[in-house]
Structure 1
């Protein structure tokens, strides 16, 4: 399977535990996300452990932007993760996260990786 097919399957909810896809996501995470997101929340970004399925702006140890706080009745579903990772400022105007993950296959891989963070 190519990365593109894996990405499509992951966002369709058909491939939630692909180790290869998650491994690709870990690489992208280390390159793009690790600076602000760690095992615990920091002033730069909230912890992403357990983010999949969690309420948006759901951690009490991080001060979220108004854009994300306005979505706090929603959860981090596959679709919401995809939309946020594609364009954080479009999904949540005023968010502190200014840069998304441009490549759809990389977004799917990051989402697969995030699903495994506990």
Structure 2
């Protein structure tokens, strides 16, 4: 492996924890009010990779129930956070996350929640 390729790999691996840390900050300022134990939104521990609208302790909107055959992949999480009402018409989530880097950081953080 060339030094340039190794340096790029090392930089990308080193960036992952920082991205999650940034995502935690963004989550705490933008998401936690509704997704931190409120009845407004479900808790998000284990959401990354899980079935959509599958938590038994939350009453999902018809918009998300219609997506229940899907999984919260990175692409689905990104699409939902970018435009919730476009991804799941009828969802109760009206707040989008902009820009792309913020969504990526939040999704990275969600992957750390178990």
Q: TM-score, normalised by structure 2?
A: 0.85
Greater gyration radius: 2
**C-alpha separation in 1, matches of 2:48 and 2:35:** 15
**Structure 1 stretches of 4+ moved >4 Å:** none
Tell me, which stretches of 5 or more residues in structure 1 are unaligned?
1-13
Using structure 1 for the length normalisation, give the TM-score: 0.82
* 1-structure distance, mates of 2:91, 2:20: 25
Q: Which runs of 5+ in 2 are unaligned?
A: 1-11
Paired residues for 1:1-118 under 5 Å: 18-38=16-36, 40=37, 42-118=38-114
Q: Deviations over 1:67-96 (max 9, x none)?
A: 100010100001000100101111011111
C-alpha distance in 2, partners of 1:60/1:52? Answer: 16
Superposed CA deviations along residues 16-58 of structure 1, whole A, max 9, x for unmatched, are x8100001101110111010002x5x42110100000100001
Q: CA RMSD in A?
A: 1.5
Larger helix fraction of residues? 2
Taking CA–CA contacts closer than 8 Å with sequence separation of 6 or more, which of the two structures ends up with the larger relative contact order? 1
- Partner of 2:33, secondary structure, is coil
Aligned length: 102
Distance 2:92 2:25 in 1: 22
